[in-house]
Amino acid sequence: MPSTRLTTARPGTAVERRPPRIGLISFLNCRPLLWGLERSGLLAGLDLVSDSPESVGADLVAGRLDLGPISLADYLRHTEDLLLLPGLAIAADGPVMSCNIVSRRPLEELAAPRVGLASTSRTTVLLARFLLEERFGLAPRYFTGPPDPSALLRGAAAAVVIGDPALRVHFEGLPDGGPSVVHDTAALWTEWTGLPMVFAVWAVRREYAERQPQRVAAVHRALLSARDRGLAELEQVSAEAAGAFTAAQLLSYYRTLRFGLGPDGLRAISRFGDLAARRGLVPGDWAVRRFEGER
């Protein structure tokens, strides 16, 4: 998929007749959706940009993209400008396997631990802070470092890691072979709140949706269809994505993730947003505004 950076068009120009510029993420946790898109051809001919989660989210916020996935933390900071696309998310109802707090000892044995935060994390960093400080009653001292659990744990009692490094620790333990306790952040959240954990959502820029509701609705339907197709063929998705992880490991991972967003997920977003707003980490007037489709 192309990775060319795109520029924003002014309303009213001829470029407004263009198709929406759509961000995609090639990470493992998005693979079922991408697999479905590749085989459906539903988005053929559209402007697609495949990049890191951070870049796609930043481009969506800045208006360089019209539609795409965005971390929950970043979405909550920009709800005035973004409309939630219903039914699409990266979430977990229980363990997520790839967003972990890793420590040398159980968290209950720590009081004021030094905690390393992976520089690539957004939502998981906030989630870990809520868990460490509010659920476990700790007084952590944070620092930011590379997304390497062993490096973060040098001189630290715990580390917050996401993505492939976290998944590797889940399956195999720490790369240095040292003792470790893996705390799945989504499982801890669900035990604490009784709600699923939503890590990322799909959103469309509000002004684009208001100008082009039919195009957005068509893309929304294509994304939902592609997701369903990928989820129906998870064994094939896992086999084709195998490499750093085995097909069996990926199949277990994909069966753990949730790619939909129902009423419980919306309640989870509300709970997470309220916790973040109370700490001044997102605007206090954030509000979920959903794309309602063609009118």
Q: What is the CATH number of the domain that holds 140?
A: 3.40.190.10
Asked whether residue 257 is domain-assigned, the answer is yes
Residues 208, 71 share a domain: yes
46 & 106 share domain: no
pLDDT at 52 over 60: yes
51, containing H or E segment = strand 47-51
Residue 4 lies inside a defined structural domain of this protein? no
Statement to judge: residues 51 and 103 lie in one domain: no
Q: Pick the residue with more confidence: 44 or 140? A: 140
Average pLDDT of the chain, as a whole number: 90
Are 116 and 167 part of one and the same domain? yes
Q: Total domain count for the chain?
A: 2
- Measured over the CA atoms of residue 142, residue 143, residue 144 and residue 149, the dihedral's sign is negative
DSSP 280: T
Q: Is residue 114 domain-shared with residue 241, that is, in the same domain?
A: no
CA distance 196 to 186: 7
**pLDDT for the residue numbered 1:** 36
Q: What is the average pLDDT across 160-166?
A: 92
Q: Are residues 201 and 189 in the same domain?
A: no
Q: Is residue 283 part of a domain?
A: no
User: How many percent of the chain have pLDDT more than 90?
Assistant: 74
The answer to whether residues 57 and 132 belong to one domain is no
Write the burial class of residue 172 (CB in 10 Å: 0-12 exposed, 13-18 middle, 19+ buried).
exposed
| Residue 152 · residue 161 · CB < 8 Å | yes
Return the amino acid letter for 204. V
Q: Look at residue 40 in the predicted model and tell me its pLDDT.
A: 85
Q: Residue 294 falls within a domain, yes or no?
A: no
Q: Is residue 223 part of a domain?
A: yes
CA distance 158 to 140: 9
C-alpha 112/C-alpha 165 separation (Å) is: 25
- Asked if 238 and 153 sit in the same domain, the reply is no
Weakest-pLDDT range from 4-13, 22-31, 36-45, 260-269: 4-13
CA proximity to 276, closest of 87, 100, 71, 18: 71
Do 79 and 212 belong to one domain? yes
Range of the structural domain that residue 136 is part of: 99-193
Query: Does 209 share its domain with 72?
Result: yes
Residues 111 and 189 in one domain: yes
Same-domain pairing of 113 and 181: yes
**CA distance readout (Å), 248 to 52, 64, 123, 228, 258:** 25, 38, 27, 20, 18
Tell me the pLDDT band of 148, cut-offs 50, 70 and 90.
confident
Q: Residue 19: helix, strand or coil by DSSP?
A: coil
Which whole number is the average pLDDT over 10-30?
75
